[in-house]
Structure 1
Amino acid sequence: PGIFILGGQTRGGCAGGLYGGRKGPSLAPLFRLSLPCIDSESSCLSHTLRLRRADRSEGVHPAGRGEQRALYLVKRMRPRCVPVLCVCISVLLHHTISQPPTETDAYTECTDGYHWDPQTQHCKDINECETIPEACKGEMKCFNHYGGYLCLPRSASVIPAAEPPNQLHPSLENSPSEPFNPCPTGFEPLGESCVDVDECEQDSHDCQPSQQCFNTEGSFSCQCPDGYRKVGTECIDIDECRYRYCQHRCVNVPGSFSCQCEPGFQLAGNNRSCIDVDECSMGAPCSQRCYNTYGTFLCRCEQGFELGPDGFACNDIDECSYSSYLCQYQCVNELGKFSCVCPEGYQLLGTRLCQDINECETGAHLCSEGQTCVNIHGGHQCVNNKSCQEPYVPVSENRCMCPVSKPSCRDLPYSIVHRYMSITSERSVPSDIFQIQATSVYPGAYNTFRIRAGDDNGDFYIRQINNISAMLVLARAVSGPREFVLDLEMVSVHSIMSYHTSSALRLTIYVGPYAF
């Protein structure tokens, strides 16, 4: 009881031979029958030889209780050779079964890359990286692998999988303690049918910790999390930024990515597009006016201010420093603007010009009843009503006459009329300032005009217009405040009547302190 037959295939030919063994802690080869190949082009046949065990109560092979299976390969031969071959096999099987078992026989051979471990009675992986000198050449690094080794670049990173169990001999893959599974791989028996094994639930998969196990029909699959792709047994991060998912900037992170926007933009609701930020409504640092533009903003200032170097602050403009012609008299800078002021005796005309105040009309003078108020540029003068000097006597308010009865009046003008006027300082020259007009003319008389007194420096001259009028001209620019008293004389000569007389106009000229 417990005798079984195993068939195998060798590397050199079609029929590898038949092996016999017995139950026990190990399997020892009892015999080997080699079947030579007659024709190299012929194919092999696979048959199953079933041997009924003498004792059904003992389980000696994982093929199942109650029967043993022996596989053998038979070379296809001529029809007449088949009976002889079958007879030979039968004789050998009968001889083998009749042999008594030897308890000392043991099978200690393992596949390439493994060696027999007497202590554990299993095949153990050989670490070729330690046993083979210089297993990998150059810049390659040796990584031990189950049943072999790998030569990879030194920069390679290998995530080791879970340790598999030590290799068992093919005849010991199913120990006697495990029930025989007649179902295909990935299935298990349930009554008279086979059902799928959920390797994920039973934790019998080899997925890495970073992977997720999904059960499939008869197997399972290891899938990487989102943002990773599977390369071999490893999960490699997907660089989503290569696909230009983001409108502006893309930042790849393990298993994902994030989009960033340029300054002046913010992420939209889809977390990929960028929309303009209205900095003006979000507290832009503009001190006065803010204008939102695409991706940025601009600061502007009110009139009278200019933008500072930082582009945010508004600084006051000193308009008065830019030009001396902004105001007629004086410019005063103020915050964001400027204003013009006028000197005493003047008032502002509009925003920049100065106009003389007529104190005589407004009543702002201090002249007494015996005086006459004369308005001049920037002020006024109070003159006495009794202005006639000896030998002249007053005829009217501003006219004096020299009587012919007085000997001293012979060489003097017959009458003197007082007039007053004011001119601005630095007036352009030549300039007509006063016109003289005869009030009475004798027929046939010839009239001439001249400056009798008061023009010692030659600042004025007379230009005669016709027989009855002349013009006083300012010949040189004068600066005020200053006062001129000119006696303008008109001489009348009548040749037929031998008549010679003259009259004078005493003109007082006040030059104001300013050019306005």
Structure 2
Amino acid sequence: MRLSCYLVFCVLLVPSLQQENEEPNTFTECTDGYEWDSERQHCKDINECLTIPDACKGEMKCINHYGGYLCLPRSASVISDSHPDPGPAGNPHGGAGTDQRNNPCPNGYQPDSQGLGTCVDVDECAHEIDDCLPSQECVNIPGGFHCKCPDGYRKIGNECVDIDECRYRYCQHRCVNSPGSFTCQCEPGFQLASNNRSCVDVNECSMGAPCQQRCYNTYGTFLCRCNQGYELDQDGYSCNDIDECSYSSYICQHQCVNEPGRFSCICPEGYNLLGTRLCQDINECETGAHTCTEQQSCVNFHGGYRCVEKNLCIEPYIQVSDNRCMCSSSNPLCRDEPGSVVYRYMSITSDRSVPSDIFQIQATSVYPRAYNTFQIRSGNEQGDFYIRQINNISAMLVLARPITGPQEYVLDLEMLTTNSLLSYRSSSVLRLTIFVGAHPSRTSHCIIYWAIKLFSW
């Protein structure tokens, strides 16, 4: 198919007058595809379909065009030369009583409306006298018009077909094609960048994420976390308080109290909180927080104290030192009584594990060939304790059964000394008062060692 198009211009060259009495000479020239019409005094179009033998080959038909001709399929439709020529500006179908024969301008032009004798271009697109298809856009050009496909379309045959931009991966995440265009969409957790194609992460934490306590932004999403003492609910957003007290009975030495996001340990009366979990006995005797008189001694025990008389000796015993009483052998009333009684005090906690060594007795004076034995003389009617002899000069008081407080025991721990060669026999008693505290302790226990001094007669 041969397609020839020409733009038409008519140029009139008129030399300046040399002398008033001389007849001017006029020169005319037309562009290709036009020839000068001396009768009408303008350039007229050459009909190449008539002047060129066999202008179009095959099944193509020849259509004369302004300044050229077109070879088109026989089924093609065009605006023929018989279409009314444009008239003055604003009247594309020609003015009243005018036709192309009276139009001195080439096709596609018309005289200016001010009568200046110039030719102005006719906007075929604005006057809708173009032959563009509905899918095409009309573009006005000097002396004619041009049909083109709008942005986002490409020409296939005579039609403009939408370009599927999504096939070329214009978008970072998702592409949605639309007629003549496309839009980019982002996955959840992202938003379009300023170029409308890339996707950038959304900081949900700064945009009101539904986290109850703490929010951490991550790439494309976010995470909720809870403060210490709370745990994340199954919904992934809410925080529930952790009941630390339910995890273990050993979390506090005495009592655990759960609070929102934390827990606290409290101690019973007579104890101070040591650190955050342990309870330490208050020694009222050392702090002076007691009511004992000058004639009394203050004895501290777990959770409290006791005031005891300084002189505990009862006849026939006489006091020889603090907490020590003696019964002289010269006194007939002392014949069947222990030679000495020593008063001591100790404290243990409730629910102590058994068997448990709690008190050791040690003889400080040893005579040659003397043999010592140890026993509980009184105060152990329930069998809560027993004596384990270690050697000839020491023994251990053992707690045999679990005991609970508050309560107290008064045990007479006796050491019998015999010498078969000298037919010697004596005894000494340690009167031990044991205070059992009201509360158990989970700390390590200590053994109290005490020495009994033997006296000779």
TM-score normalised to structure 1 length: 0.60
Q: Which amino acid aligns with 1:381?
A: R
Contact 2:414 2:430 in 1 (8 A): yes
Shift of 1:376: 0.7
Percent identical: 69
Match of 1:294 in 2: 219
Looking at structure 2, the residues matched to 382 and 359 of structure 1 have their Cα atoms a distance apart, in angstroms, of 11
* Corresponding residue of 1:455: 380
Match of 1:358 among 283, 289, 312: 283
Alignment of structure 1 residues 105-120 onto 2, 5 Å: none
> How far has the Cα of 1:374 moved from its partner?
0.6
Q: Is the 8 A contact 2:224 2:237 kept in 1?
A: yes
Q: 1:212 aligns with which of 102, 112, 137?
A: 137
Deviation track 1:50-99 (CA, whole Å, cap 9, x = no partner) reads: xxxxxx9xxxxxx9xxxxxx99x9xxxxxxxxxxxxxxxxxxxxxxxxxx
Alpha-carbon distance in 2 for matches of 1:243, 1:313: 44
The match for 1:494 is 419
> Aligned equivalents of 2:151 and 2:296: distance in 1?
110
CA displacement at 1:379 relative to structure 2: 1.1
2:400 corresponds to 1:475: yes
State the TM-score, normalized to the length of structure 2. 0.67
Is 1:466 aligned to 2:391, yes or no?
Answer: yes
1:179 & 1:491 partners in 2: Cα distance? 156
For these two proteins, the number of residue pairs brought into alignment is 352
User: Does structure 2 conserve the Cα–Cα contact (< 8 Å) formed by 1:181 and 1:189?
Assistant: no
Q: Which residue of 2 aligns with 1:88?
A: none
Counterpart secondary structure, 2:167: helix
Residues 181 and 188, structure 1, Cα contact 8 Å, conserved in 2: no
Whole-angstrom CA distance in 1 between matches of 2:200 and 2:147: 40
Q: Output one character per residue of 1:105-156: Cα deviation in whole Å (capped at 9) or x when no partner.
A: xxxxxxxxxxxxxxxxxxxxxxxxxxxxxxxxxxxxxxxxxx99xxxxxxxx
How far 1:295 sits from its partner (Å)?
A: 0.8
Aligned to 1:271: 196
Aligned pairs for 1:294-333 (under 5 A) are 294-333=219-258
Work out whether residues 405 and 437 of structure 2, in 8 Å CA contact, stay in contact via their aligned partners in 1: yes
CA distance in 2, matches of 1:222, 1:463: 120
AA aligned opposite 1:342: C
Deviation at 1:455, TM superposition (A): 1.1
Higher RCO (CA < 8 A, seq sep 6+): 2
C-alpha separation in 2, matches of 1:216 and 1:418 = 129
SS at match of 1:326: coil
Q: Counterpart of 1:424 in 2: which secondary structure?
A: strand
Partner in structure 2 of residue 346 of structure 1: 271
Q: 1:385 aligns with which of 289, 297, 310?
A: 310
Q: For structure 1, which runs of at least 5 residues remain unmatched after alignment?
A: 1-55, 57-62, 64-69, 74-146, 149-160, 168-176
Partners of 1:443 and 1:268 in 2: how far apart?
A: 103
1:186/1:196 contact within 8 Å kept: no
- What is the Cα-based RMSD across aligned positions, in Å? 3.8
Q: 1:162 to 1:484 in 2, by over 3 A?
A: farther
Instruction: Describe how 1:58-97 pairs up with structure 2 within 5 A.
Output: none
Equivalents in 2 of 1:201, 1:340: separation in Å?
A: 91
- Distance (Å, rounded) in 1 between the aligned partners of 2:421 and 2:102: 171
Q: Secondary structure at the match of 1:245?
A: coil
Q: CA deviation at 1:272?
A: 0.5
Alignment correspondent of 2:169:
244
> Alpha carbons of 1:477 and 1:189: their partners in 2 closer, same or farther (altered >3 Å)?
closer
Q: Which deviates more, 250-259 or 214-223? A: 214-223
Aligned equivalents of 1:211 and 1:204: distance in 2?
Answer: 14
Change (3 A) 1:213 1:338: same
Give the secondary-structure state (helix, strand or coil) at the position aligned to 1:280. helix
Deviates more, 1:403-412 or 1:338-347: 403-412
Post-superposition CA distance 1:287-309 (Å, at most 9, x none): 33322211111122222121223
The equivalences for 1:132-151 within 5 A come to none
